[in-house]
Structure 1
Amino acid sequence: MVSADALRYFLQVARRGRLVSAAEALGVDHTTVSRQISRLERDLGYRVFDRSPTGWSLSDAGQRLLPHAEAVDAAVLSAVADTNTEGQLTGTVRIATPDAFGAFILAPGLNTFRKEHPNLDVHIVTSTRNVALGMREFDIAVTLQEPQPRHAKYRRLTDYTLALYATPEYLAENPPIHEPADLSAHTLIWYVDDLLDITPLRLLDDVLPGHRVAIQTNSVTGHWQAAVAGVGLAPLPRYLGDQDQRLVPVLPDTLQISRTYWLAVPKESARLERARATIALLEKIVSDRQHDLLLGASNSQDTESPKK
């Protein structure tokens, strides 16, 4: 008979693709994981993984087993209360987010949540690659691409805008910019192209096709700091760029770019109290910063526009 514990080992290897990574997540030695998988395959009578030097991938039979294992895992999670005897949330909630949202919207908004739920650990995993919505590697995800309903429950979280930024010193020392074509004479800063598989972040292909990106770094913090140092021009979310008095927007009437953050919750996680509490947190953070997300937070002396 296949045990729920064996399926737990199976899921961790399926999600991570390597024994060592799965062992770290489970808090055991990788040889223990290997023994559990071998025992599972003996009990089932077929192989659930194809082994290769680059990692472990699901076999066809493993792919068929996956949704059943996830269902069992979800049932076990639901049966184990995620609150302690005093009614406080416990355990861990893992949130997958795009780089900028995780660092500059979510992380700064955790203060009150942390005080309300001191026994709950929050893991924020940021990436410029698409999260695997078909694998339960997270409890909640904020994505830039609209998810597929078969993988998760989802809804639009918020729109936000980006603009192009540079320092006044950089602009004074380099050729004038009157239209997008003038940017060909300037240093552009953006993500590393071959590590970027999120289509909405390929925005330079849309607004500045054919322009060379001389400085590529896989972090919005790198874009921001390079722009602040006067290296060149970087597209930044307005909720970041407009808050930095060292930067000014470039061609703001021409190069305003709109994107959408989506909130996705794997169906197995939606029933967990800690996931529901975190969803409420995300919605409150977005509501409180809606003006920043859409219009930035201007450092000018003008009267602040009312929040939307």
Structure 2
Amino acid sequence: MGHDVDNLLLLLSVVRHGSYAGAGASLGLSHTTVSRRIAAVEKSAGARLLVRAGGVWEPTELGREFIAAAEDIEHTLGSLTSGVGGQGGSVRGVVRALVPEGFGGLVIGEAMRRLGETHPLVRLEMINAARRARANLVGIDFEVVVGRPEVSRNEAFHLADYSLGLYAAPSYLETHQAITEPEQVQEHPLVYFVESMQDVPELTNPVRHLPRMRQSVGATSSMVHVELTRAGAGIGLLPCYMAERAGGLVRLFPDDLTFPVSYWVVSRPDLMRRPAVHAVLDAIRGTVDDMRDELIAAPQGA
């Protein structure tokens, strides 16, 4: 039985890392050993549990049932050991999340600093991307998404509002045609997400208000957008809290060209009841509460 449990947890690790090599490295196992043990689990199940998709291993429909069982085992083991050792009743465990990278760098960074003071045995692993909510939370405990998600089997709650604004580097403004009216912004190149790779409505809608702007540089990272704008590559459509913290940028027409956006959390009820997940989400809530004015970045006098 112990070997079966170990193999289930190994299956879960393969899904989380997307590869045999990643799972093996995290557990100190060779690629050959991981492959052999996964094959044994599939032989016992009488069917494939993993399929290769987009360069990573993902669970089949039956595989998702095995992953759910492995997560239950992991959560149970975590709760049994949460009070063991030299940390008294401190919460412990690994929490995995899918989070937009700008939010992950600034907000999650502060949240984890706070969490380290109260629950030092909680570890967070992040995948960073701004994307729609996923139907199946396989291999992650929660995700932070942009815009209100449409979910059926999972739960979602509003986390925070924030603003997108248009910014330019002083050097850019000094060397290009003067911008004295909001409409004139559209005569300049835009720095923003790659249009063909962005399907989040709250991130694509602002561009529709700027129909004449041609995109000079597209990137999948909002942090890269900030640095490209600071370098003078064009006018950046940026999260205001990131642009203001980066400094060295001029915000253009905040009374006319500010676009509201929102962050939401998606998870399963059973996952949110995990002590480690609950602790991480509490730390994130506390951080966004303290940063609320910075996130909204309302124009002066608004």
Q: TM-score, normalised by structure 1?
A: 0.82
For the 8 Å contact 1:82–1:274, the answer to whether it is kept is no
What does residue 8 of structure 1 align with? 9
For 1:154, which of 153, 156, 168 is the aligned residue?
Answer: 156
For the 8 Å contact 1:166–1:228, the answer to whether it is kept is yes
For the 8 Å contact 1:140–1:264, the answer to whether it is kept is yes
What does residue 189 of structure 2 align with? 187
For the 8 Å contact 2:15–2:138, the answer to whether it is kept is no
Residues 111 and 50 (structure 1), Cα distance of their counterparts in 2 relative to 1, 3 Å cut: closer
Gaps of 5+ in 2: none
Task: Name whichever of 118-127 and 97-106 sits farther off.
Answer: 118-127
Aligned pairs, number: 300
What does residue 31 of structure 2 align with? 30
Task: Name whichever of 155-164 and 262-271 sits farther off.
Answer: 262-271
Task: Name whichever of 221-230 and 12-21 sits farther off.
Answer: 12-21
Letter in 2 for 1:279: L
For 2:224, which of 203, 222, 225 is the aligned residue?
Answer: 222
Offset at 1:121?
2.7
Letter in 2 for 1:219: S
**1:221-262 residue CA offsets vs partner (Å, 9 max, x unmatched):** 222122223232111222222345522211322221111111
Please give the alpha-carbon distance, in whole angstroms, between the structure 1 residues aligned to 2:54 and 2:104: 33
Please give the alpha-carbon distance, in whole angstroms, between the structure 1 residues aligned to 2:82 and 2:135: 24
Please give the alpha-carbon distance, in whole angstroms, between the structure 2 residues aligned to 1:131 and 1:138: 12
Partner-residue secondary structure (3-state), 2:98: strand
For the 8 Å contact 1:96–1:131, the answer to whether it is kept is no
Partner-residue secondary structure (3-state), 1:38: helix
What does residue 62 of structure 1 align with? 63
Letter in 2 for 1:275: V
Q: Percent of aligned pairs with the same residue?
A: 27
**1:53-101 residue CA offsets vs partner (Å, 9 max, x unmatched):** 9444434433454444444444444444276442223333333321211
Matches of residues 43-58 of structure 1 in structure 2 within 5 Å?
43-50=44-51, 54-58=55-59
Offset at 1:266?
3.3
For the 8 Å contact 1:158–1:260, the answer to whether it is kept is yes
Letter in 2 for 1:198: V
For the 8 Å contact 2:107–2:284, the answer to whether it is kept is no
For the 8 Å contact 2:147–2:261, the answer to whether it is kept is no
Offset at 1:30?
2.0
For the 8 Å contact 1:159–1:293, the answer to whether it is kept is yes
For the 8 Å contact 1:128–1:197, the answer to whether it is kept is no
Gaps of 5+ in 1: none
Letter in 1 for 2:123: D
What does residue 294 of structure 1 align with? 296
Q: TM-score, normalised by structure 2?
A: 0.83
Partner-residue secondary structure (3-state), 1:202: helix
**1:174-205 residue CA offsets vs partner (Å, 9 max, x unmatched):** 22335555334312111233443434322444
Residues 116 and 72 (structure 1), Cα distance of their counterparts in 2 relative to 1, 3 Å cut: closer
What does residue 82 of structure 2 align with? 81
For 1:274, which of 268, 273, 276 is the aligned residue?
Answer: 276
Offset at 1:24?
3.1
For the 8 Å contact 1:89–1:120, the answer to whether it is kept is yes
For the 8 Å contact 2:193–2:219, the answer to whether it is kept is yes
**1:273-294 residue CA offsets vs partner (Å, 9 max, x unmatched):** 2222211111111111111111
Residues 112 and 75 (structure 1), Cα distance of their counterparts in 2 relative to 1, 3 Å cut: closer
**1:92-140 residue CA offsets vs partner (Å, 9 max, x unmatched):** 3333321211112221343333233333333343223446462343333
Please give the alpha-carbon distance, in whole angstroms, between the structure 1 residues aligned to 2:115 and 2:229: 32
Matches of residues 251-262 of structure 1 in structure 2 within 5 Å?
251-262=253-264
For the 8 Å contact 1:129–1:195, the answer to whether it is kept is no
Residues 182 and 83 (structure 1), Cα distance of their counterparts in 2 relative to 1, 3 Å cut: farther
For the 8 Å contact 2:64–2:138, the answer to whether it is kept is no
Please give the alpha-carbon distance, in whole angstroms, between the structure 1 residues aligned to 2:113 and 2:59: 40
**1:12-36 residue CA offsets vs partner (Å, 9 max, x unmatched):** 3334443223323444222222112
User: Which is helix-richer, 1 or 2?
Assistant: 2
Please give the alpha-carbon distance, in whole angstroms, between the structure 1 residues aligned to 2:174 and 2:129: 34
Partner-residue secondary structure (3-state), 2:167: strand
What does residue 100 of structure 2 align with? 98
